[in-house]
């Protein structure tokens, strides 16, 4: 998210918000539009300090004191980016940066939702059958369209000539994409707020999985498995759906260290309660090295391959930069990490995505192994694996275009 430059002396005026959650998983919900962010206890404390008028530097210092770490190690960048991106920031150093007023009728509806529907939502999550509780949550978080976001998504869809869309298809994809973005946020909220037994039943029984036979064959080889995925459907649930079935997965996350720490803390808290998931998380420039060690032990790792250039460039440089890959009638930049891991370890590569399929709910698809080119070696062999993986995942984007959540980033991915 692009926002004005920030300094240690900067102060933020935040929109009114409420906090829901417990333990180490919280949702901070903006009263004026019901946009929400998920964060841990430290994130909630940081939001509270900023809302109270503390500067960014003071907030960093206070958090460092509370958690016994040097202030320089407190990274607020991911949280600040999220606050701006989600419309929480009303002013920066006293200067307006976002609209802060809503029509009175809309304010009343939001207040009623927060005061009445929030307790009702909690009851639904505890007692309604999951086949009803999940769509109930989707409806509760319905909100007015974001015209700016929809325009960016539409522009991205029009940059994909290979789709060959008929008249009116762009509007349908944009509308479906807005719904998909909302639903994946709700799924993350459900993961953190459902009672542990219901969450495990949801992930382990309610989510259908196809292609487990491909994973079983890969595990039998003993050289490890690389699941390559896109940011499609409810992508964040993918490792947990497998973990609920006893499949240990380590995912490489492209988001910041603080967010990774929040996920790790949530996993540790579940483990302490006797409800652990065999899910790990890594990232950063040394994250791929950690995946190599895991694959050498025959483990399963998860990579999201559709990240725009500029995300973790040091890791991209370490694995040989980026390559041009055909995608939807154009060419995009792809990191070589997937091919590099395969070349280093000989691990099997399986495409995998977790989608919504109408009234049937979630469906995790795992495809057959990417064959690659057995005769190729080095960078040529690595590139072949990346190309074939993109081709397999592209077919799913063509089939479910509204569920690919990177349309607004496509312009930055295209290789000129």
Range name among 91-95, 181-185, 320-324, 348-352 with the lowest pLDDT average = 320-324
CA dist 214 → 9, 109, 305 (Å): 54, 49, 20
Determine the average pLDDT of the residues in 216-230. Answer: 94
Report yes or no: 100 and 110 within 8 Å, Cβ to Cβ. no
Report yes or no: 305 and 312 within 8 Å, Cβ to Cβ. no
Determine the average pLDDT of the residues in 273-277. Answer: 85
Which pTM does this prediction carry? 0.71
Domain spans, the chain: 12-96, 116-193, 196-413
Over the stretch 116-164, which tens digit does the pLDDT of each residue have?
A: 446 677 778 788 888 888 888 888 776 666 778 889 999 999 989 888 8
Instruction: Report angle CA 33, 35, 40 to the nearest 5 degrees.
Output: 145
Over the stretch 356-383, which tens digit does the pLDDT of each residue have?
A: 988 778 999 999 999 866 555 556 778 8
Report yes or no: 74 and 63 within 8 Å, Cβ to Cβ. yes
Rounded CA-CA distance 150/153 in Å is 5
pLDDT at 274: 83
pLDDT higher than threshold 80 for residue 36: no
Number of other residues whose CB lies within 10 A of the CB of residue 22? 9
Rounded CA-CA distance 300/298 in Å is 7
30 beta partners: 17
* Edge-first strand listing for the sheet containing 12-14: 12-14, 89-92, 95-96
Rg (CA), the chain: 22
Q: Which of 355, 352, 396, 364 is CA-nearest to residue 208?
A: 364
pLDDT at 143: 62
Rounded CA-CA distance 364/235 in Å is 9
Rounded CA-CA distance 157/340 in Å is 30
pLDDT at 113: 44
The 3-state DSSP class for residue 334 equals strand
Over the stretch 233-256, which tens digit does the pLDDT of each residue have?
A: 999 999 999 999 999 999 988 666
Rounded CA-CA distance 293/11 in Å is 43
Rounded CA-CA distance 55/281 in Å is 31
264 beta partners: none
Number of other residues whose CB lies within 10 A of the CB of residue 310? 9
Is CATH 3.40.1130 the right assignment for the domain spanning 196-413? yes
Rounded CA-CA distance 46/83 in Å is 11
93 against 118, higher pLDDT: 93
pLDDT at 308: 61
pLDDT at 376: 56
Task: Quote the distance between the C-alpha of residue 286 and its chain's center.
Answer: 20
Report yes or no: 90 and 14 within 8 Å, Cβ to Cβ. yes
**Strand 25-30 versus strand 36-39 pairing type:** antiparallel
Percent of residues, the chain, with pLDDT higher than 70: 83
Q: Which of 187, 216, 184, 215 is CA-nearest to residue 203?
A: 187
Helices (H), 69-201: 77-85, 104-112, 118-127, 130-140, 147-158, 169-193, 196-201
């Amino acid at each position: 998210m692009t926002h004005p430059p920030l300094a240690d002396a900067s102060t933020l005026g935040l929109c009114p918000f409420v906090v829901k959650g417990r333990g180490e998983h919280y949702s901070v919900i903006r009263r004026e539009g019901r946009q929400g962010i998920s964060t841990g206890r430290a994130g909630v404390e940081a939001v509270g300090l900023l809302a109270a008028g503390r500067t960014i530097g003071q907030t960093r210092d206070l958090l460092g004191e509370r958690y016994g770490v040097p202030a320089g190690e407190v990274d607020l960048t991911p949280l600040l980016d999220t606050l701006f991106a989600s419309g929480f920031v009303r002013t920066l150093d006293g200067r307006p940066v976002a609209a802060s007023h809503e029509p009175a009728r809309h304010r009343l509806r939001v207040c009623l939702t927060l005061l009445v529907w929030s307790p009702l939502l909690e009851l639904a999550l505890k007692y309604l059958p999951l086949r009803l509780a999940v769509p109930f949550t989707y409806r509760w978080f319905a909100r007015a369209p974001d015209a700016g976001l929809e325009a960016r998504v539409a522009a991205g869809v029009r940059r994909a000539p290979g789709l060959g869309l008929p008249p009116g298809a762009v509007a349908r994809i944009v509308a479906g994409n807005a719904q998909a973005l909302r639903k994946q946020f709700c799924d993350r909220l459900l993961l953190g707020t459902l009672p542990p037994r219901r969450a495990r039943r949801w992930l382990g029984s309610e989510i259908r999985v196809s292609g487990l036979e491909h994973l079983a064959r890969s595990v039998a080889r003993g050289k490890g498995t690389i699941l390559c995925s896109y940011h499609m459907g409810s992508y964040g649930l993918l490792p947990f759906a497998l973990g609920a079935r006893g499949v240990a997965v380590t995912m490489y996350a492209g988001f910041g260290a603080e967010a990774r720490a929040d996920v790790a803390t949530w996993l540790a808290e579940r483990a302490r309660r006797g409800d652990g998931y065999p899910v790990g998380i890594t990232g950063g420039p040394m994250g791929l090295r950690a995946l190599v060690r895991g694959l050498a032990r025959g483990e399963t790792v998860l990579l999201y391959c559709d990240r725009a250039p500029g995300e973790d460039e040091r890791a991209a440089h370490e694995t040989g930069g980026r390559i041009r890959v055909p995608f939807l009638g154009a060419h995009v930049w792809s990191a070589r990490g997937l091919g590099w891991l395969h070349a280093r370890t000989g691990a099997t590569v399986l495409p995998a995505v977790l989608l919504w399929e109408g009234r049937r709910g979630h469906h995790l698809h795992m495809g057959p192994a990417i064959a690659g080119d057995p005769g190729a070696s080095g960078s040529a062999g690595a590139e072949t694996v990346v190309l074939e993986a993109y081709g397999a995942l592209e077919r799913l984007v063509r089939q479910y275009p509204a569920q690919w959540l990177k349309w607004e980033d496509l312009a930055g991915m295209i290789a000129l």
